[in-house]
Amino acid sequence: MENGDLFFSFIKIIAVIAYLYGLLWAMGRKQLWAKVLGVIVAFGVVQLALTPFGKFQLLNNFDTGLLFQACTITMMSLGLNLIYGFNGQFSLGQIGFYGLGAYAAADITFRWQIGDSSGMVVVFLGVILAGASIFLINKFLSKFRRTPVLSSFTLYLIGVTIAGVVAFYLGNVLADMLDPLLATGGPLRSYFAMQGVYFLAVLLAGAFAAIVSFLFGLPVLSLGSDYFGIATLGFTIVVNTLMVNPDTILPFPEMKGGRGMIGIPKLTVWFWAFFFLIFVIVIMRNVLQSSTGRAILSVREDETASKAMGIDIANNKLLAFVIGSFFAGIGGAVYAHYLAFLSPSTFDFIAGFNPLIIIVFGGLGSMTGTIAASFGWIFFLEGLLRVLLGKMGTEAPSWRFVLYPIALLLLMLLRPEGLLGTREWGFLKSSVFAPFVKKDDTKVKAESEI
């Protein structure tokens, strides 16, 4: 890499961090028109950078790939930070839900483009019916006190299984009626119809990951945090094994197992990546700044005190886990439709440490730290550093896996709270986090007077 290229690579990294700061600052404006205008400008700036003008393009294909990868890993990492950083539950299963979302959405759009609507219809009905069954069973169980966890889990599992069977058979019947509209030149094969299918597929993938996380987390979250981490690691290994053998263990020959799934429509453009990134940021920020968010934070700080204040510890742990998995599923779906190829090796348990390292680098309990660290991780470590090491030899890029833990170790020794600690930028700032961060003399005095 020439010195000029190296210089411009650093400039791009600085520009990305400045862009994130500007985006969060614009979203934090009080006037609605200022928020909307700021988001539109932020979208347009990157869109211009991705648009070629003759032979010139500010962000080349390599940079574009890093940008989309950064967006998807940010969604997954924000979900993990909600689970671990804000709720205090150590989890190694985030990459598993990321993969579930990727394969679920990819299968829906893959089938749709070849004229088979069964994927969309079955998953849509399955999510609706499973959600309804969980809601009804929860209403039923609320009439009883101290229902054993395994008894509740059994009821939920039976309800979701019945919902899945009904969705499968009813969905295939409805799909047979819908498939003629998917014939070549049919109204459901248009560009706009495909974009709508993609949008629904991403949301359904997130919902599917959330339902799986609910069933998995219900019995497992009763374990301590360390044991929960081991259980989620086992979950990731199980999911990865299913990804390697979907054409033998599961009835999905189109996924092609360890050979990787090909033929996925490449539908993720900057508009969708930006839209879903903002979607995840806004939902997580609003959840954390609500009374539910305060309860989630209190569980991390002191479970005994939270329970004494009437907070349902188990439900808040489960809620944080489900929402975090929902974000991971969305990120995986967006990723699948950018790369247009899925390999099980992308979602193994080793890759599951990436979001964990990111949230530790950025700062546990900091949304801003997670966002900045995600983009910095991809553009510097996976981008610039990988290219620099590649110039030293064909095996040199693998040395970045040695540099990662060294950098993490140094960070833990020199700044254990992470790069940004608990600081938040712009839109993410809130007094909600103040009681858990640092109290100034004025706040302490005011609280003592109360």
pLDDT in tens, 333-342: 999 999 989 9
Question: Is residue 432's pLDDT more than 60?
Answer: no
> Domain spanning 3-52+61-115+183-449 has what CATH number?
1.10.3470
Q: How far apart are CA 303 and CA 295, in angstroms?
A: 10
- Position 430 confidence tier, pLDDT thresholds 50, 70, 90: low
SS (H, E, C) the chain: CCHHHHHHHHHHHHHHHHHHHHHHHHHCCCCHHHHHHHHHHHHHHHHHHHCCECCECCCCHHHHHHHHHHHHHHHHHHHHHHHHHHCCCCCCCHHHHHHHHHHHHHHHHHHHHCCCCHHHHHHHHHHHHHHHHHHHHHHHHCCCCCCCHHHHHHHHHHHHHHHHHHHHHHHHHHHHHHHHHHCCCCHHHCHHHHHHHHHHHHHHHHHHHHHHHHHHHHHHCCCCHHHHHHHHHHHHHHHHHHHHCCCCCCCCHHHCHHHCECCCCCCCCHHHHHHHHHHHHHHHHHHHCCHHHHHHHHHHHCHHHHHHCCCCHHHHHHHHHHHHHHHHHHHHHHHHHHHCCECHHHHCCCCCHHHHHHHHHHCCCCHHHHHHHHHHHHHHHHHHHHHHHHCCCCCHHHHHHHHHHHHHHHHHHHCCCCCCCCCCCHHHCCHHHHHHCCCCHHHHHHHHHC
On whether the CB atoms of residues 336 and 329 are closer than 8 A, the answer is no
pLDDT in tens, 140-164: 998 888 888 888 999 999 999 999 9
pLDDT in tens, 3-31: 555 667 778 788 888 999 999 999 988 88
* One-letter amino acid of 181: L
pLDDT in tens, 51-105: 888 777 788 888 888 899 999 999 999 999 999 999 889 888 999 999 999 999 9
CA 429 to each of CA 27, 288, 366: distance values in angstroms, whole numbers, following the listed order: 11, 11, 10
Can you give the length of the chain in residues? 450
What is the average pLDDT across 293-297? 90
Q: How high is the pLDDT of residue 391?
A: 65
Q: Which residues contact 145 (CB under 8 A, 6 or more apart)?
A: none
Q: How high is the pLDDT of residue 445?
A: 39
Pick from 168-172, 223-227, 235-239: least confident: 223-227
On whether the CB atoms of residues 78 and 370 are closer than 8 A, the answer is yes
What is the average pLDDT across 108-137? 93
- Position 438 confidence tier, pLDDT thresholds 50, 70, 90: very low
Q: How far apart are CA 295 and CA 283, in angstroms?
A: 16
Q: Would the CA dihedral through 76, 245, 156, 166 be positive or negative? A: positive
Q: Give the angle subtended at the CA of 45 by the CAs of 44 and 50, to the nearest 5°.
A: 90
- Position 416 confidence tier, pLDDT thresholds 50, 70, 90: confident
On whether the CB atoms of residues 47 and 37 are closer than 8 A, the answer is no
Q: How far apart are CA 211 and CA 221, in angstroms?
A: 15
Token readout for 172 is 């295939």
Q: How far apart are CA 261 and CA 272, in angstroms?
A: 22
Q: Which of 318, 327, 338, 340 is nearest to 280 (CA)?
A: 327
pLDDT in tens, 267-291: 999 999 999 999 999 999 999 999 8
Token readout for 350 is 């080793």
Q: How high is the pLDDT of residue 83?
A: 94
- Position 437 confidence tier, pLDDT thresholds 50, 70, 90: very low
Q: How high is the pLDDT of residue 336?
A: 94
Domain boundaries, the chain: 3-52+61-115+183-449
Residue with tokens 């961060």: 437
What is the average pLDDT across 283-307? 89
Q: Which residues contact 379 (CB under 8 A, 6 or more apart)?
A: 12, 13, 16, 66, 70
The pTM of this model reads 0.90
